C-alpha cells in the first residue's frame, strides 16, 4: 500500500536557493519537453515516416544537448529534469485516456516543485539527504515504515515541503475501529456535521473569521507595482494567509474524520452535489468554507485504512424530508426550517438529526443479511454485482479499495 507523508523542511538560505534552482530546472525541462512534444507530433502528422514523440526519447534528447545548451542544469540533481519529463509522459497518458485535460505549461511561483527517485535520497530521523545539497532538516520524522519509493519537494507560501511516498507492508496501517455500531453523518452549513447519535460538530469557518484580513491583504497586493520588491512581499503575505486558512480547515476535518472512523465500523453519508451547491450566491461562501468534499475524501481513505465500510446514499435520497420514525415524507421542506413535526406520528424532528438517523438506517439496510442476500438500501450501486457473501456489504454499498488511495 502506497502512503505519502508530507513534512515541512527547514533549509538555510543556501539550501533554499538550491531548492529554488532545482524547481526552476524541473519547470524548464517540463516546458521544453512540452514544446518539443507538440512540435514532433505535428511533424509526424505531416510526415508519417517520422516517429511520434514519447517521454523516453525526449529524456535522451535532453541528455544529449544539456551539457552544451543548458550547462546550468548540471548544478542540480539529474532527477529534477528527468522526473519532470516522466511526469509529462504520464500527463499525456491521462489526457489520451480522457482522465485529464491537455497538459499545460508550468509557471514560476505556482509550480515550484521537483521529484527525487528512491535511489537519489535518504531519510534519517529528522533530516533528508538531497543530491548535490546534503542533509536538510525536517520538522518531524517519517511516520510510515516500509520501502521508500520517491520524494517530491515543493514550495507553498514560502515554505518548502517534502512529500515522501512509502510502500508499506500489506495490512491496514491503523488499528480497527471500536465498533460502536452504525453511524449516519449529515453535513450542513450551520453545523459542519451532525451524527445520528445527536452529536454535533461546528466547523471553524476560517475563511469567514479571517475574511476581513484577507480583503485587506488582497487590496494591498492589488495596489503594488508588478515586479517590485513590495509586490513580492505582499504576495507572500497573502499566500501565507491562504495557507493558514486551509490548514485550520484541514486540522478540524482531520479531527472529525479520525474520531468517526476510530469509533464506528459502518458509516452512512450522503452524496452532495458540491459544485451545484456553490452556484447559490447566498450560501457559496459558507459551503466552500466547510470543505464537504475534503471531509468525504478523508472519511473514505481513513475508513479503508481501518477496514471500515462507507455507505454513500443516492444524491436524491430525501434524508431531511423523511420521518425517521414512521417513514412519512414531506412534499417540501424549506431550508430555513430547522425542525418540523411529522403529520403521521406527530414527533418533533430536528432537521439535521433526523437526516443523520435516516442515513444510519439506510446504511443498516444496505448491509447483507446473514443468509447472504441483498439488503434493500438506497446506497449507490456498483456496475458489477458481487456474489452474495455472509456478513459482507451488498452490491449497493460504495466500497473503498486500498489501492485506489495509493
Residues noted as catalytic: 186, 270, 352
Which among 245, 258, 304 is positioned nearest to 2, based on CA atoms?
Answer: 304
Q: Is 299 helix (H, G, I), strand (E, B) or coil?
A: helix
CB atoms within 10 A of CB 222: 10
Tell me how far apart the alpha carbons of residues 305 and 174 are, in angstroms, rounded to a whole number.
6
Which whole-number Å values give the CA distances from 307 to 122, 179, 264, 394, in the listed order? 32, 11, 11, 16
H/E stretch holding 261: helix 229-263
Per-residue pLDDT of the chain (406 residues; tens, 9 = 90+): 888 999 999 999 999 999 999 999 999 999 999 999 999 999 999 988 899 999 999 999 999 999 999 999 999 999 999 999 999 999 999 999 999 999 999 999 899 999 999 888 999 999 999 999 999 999 999 988 889 999 999 999 999 999 999 998 876 677 777 878 888 998 988 889 999 888 899 889 999 999 999 999 999 999 999 989 999 999 999 999 999 999 999 999 999 999 999 999 889 998 888 888 888 888 889 889 998 999 999 999 898 888 888 888 888 888 888 888 787 777 777 777 777 788 778 778 888 888 888 888 888 887 644 334 444 445 554 333 333 333 333 333 333 333 333 3
The pLDDT of residue 338: 77
Which among 359, 181, 168 is positioned nearest to 266, based on CA atoms?
Answer: 181
Torsion of CA 178, 181, 186, 192, to 10 degrees: -30
CB atoms within 10 A of CB 90: 12
Contact by Cβ (8 Å): 62, 74: no
Amino acid at each position: 500500500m502506497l502512503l505519502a507523508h508530507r513534512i515541512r523542511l527547514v533549509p538555510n538560505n543556501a539550501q533554499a536557493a538550491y531548492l529554488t534552482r532545482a524547481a526552476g530546472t524541473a519547470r524548464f525541462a517540463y516546458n521544453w519537453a512540452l514544446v518539443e512534444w507538440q512540435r514532433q507530433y505535428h511533424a509526424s502528422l505531416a510526415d508519417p515516416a517520422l516517429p511520434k514523440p514519447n517521454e523516453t526519447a525526449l529524456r535522451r534528447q535532453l541528455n544529449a544537448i544539456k551539457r552544451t545548451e543548458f550547462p546550468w542544469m548540471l548544478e542540480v540533481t539529474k532527477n529534477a529534469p528527468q522526473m519532470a519529463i516522466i511526469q509529462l509522459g504520464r500527463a499525456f497518458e491521462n489526457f489520451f485516456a480522457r482522465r485529464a485535460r491537455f497538459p499545460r505549461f508550468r509557471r514560476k511561483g505556482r509550480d515550484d516543485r521537483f521529484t527525487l527517485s528512491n535511489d537519489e535520497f535518504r531519510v534519517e530521523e529528522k533530516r533528508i539527504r538531497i543530491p548535490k545539497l546534503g542533509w536538510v532538516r525536517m520538522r518531524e520524522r517519517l511516520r510510515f515504515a516500509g520501502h521508500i519509493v520517491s520524494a517530491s519537494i515543493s514550495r507553498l507560501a514560502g515554505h518548502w515541503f517534502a512529500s515522501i511516498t512509502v510502500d508499506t507492508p500489506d495490512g491496514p496501517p491503523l488499528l480497527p475501529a471500536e465498533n460502536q455500531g452504525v453511524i449516519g453523518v449529515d453535513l450542513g452549513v450551520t453545523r459542519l456535521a451532525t451524527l445520528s447519535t445527536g452529536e454535533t460538530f461546528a466547523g471553524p469557518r476560517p475563511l469567514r473569521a479571517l475574511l476581513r484580513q484577507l480583503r485587506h491583504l488582497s487590496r494591498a497586493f492589488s495596489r503594488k507595482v508588478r515586479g517590485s520588491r513590495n509586490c513580492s512581499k505582499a504576495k507572500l503575505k497573502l499566500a501565507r494567509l491562504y495557507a493558514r486558512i486551509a490548514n485550520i480547515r484541514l486540522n478540524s476535518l482531520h479531527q472529525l474524520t479520525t474520531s468517526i472512523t476510530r469509533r464506528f465500523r459502518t458509516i452512512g453519508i450522503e452524496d452532495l452535489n458540491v459544485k451545484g451547491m456553490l452556484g447559490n450566491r447566498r450560501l457559496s461562501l459558507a459551503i466552500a468554507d466547510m470543505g464537504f468534499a475534503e471531509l468525504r475524501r478523508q472519511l473514505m481513505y481513513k475508513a479503508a485504512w481501518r477496514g471500515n465500510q462507507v455507505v454513500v446514499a443516492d444524491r436524491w435520497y430525501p434524508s431531511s424530508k423523511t420521518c425517521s420514525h414512521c417513514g412519512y415524507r414531506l412534499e417540501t421542506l424549506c431550508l430555513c426550517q430547522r425542525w418540523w413535526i411529522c403529520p403521521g406520528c406527530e414527533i418533533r424532528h430536528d432537521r439535521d438529526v433526523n437526516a443523520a438517523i435516516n442515513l444510519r438506517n439506510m446504511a443498516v439496510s444496505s448491509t447483507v443479511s446473514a443468509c447472504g442476500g441483498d439488503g434493500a438500501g438506497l446506497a449507490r450501486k456498483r456496475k458489477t454485482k458481487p456474489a452474495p457473501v455472509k456478513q459482507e456489504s451488498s452490491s449497493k454499498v460504495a466500497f473503498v479499495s486500498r489501492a485506489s488511495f495509493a
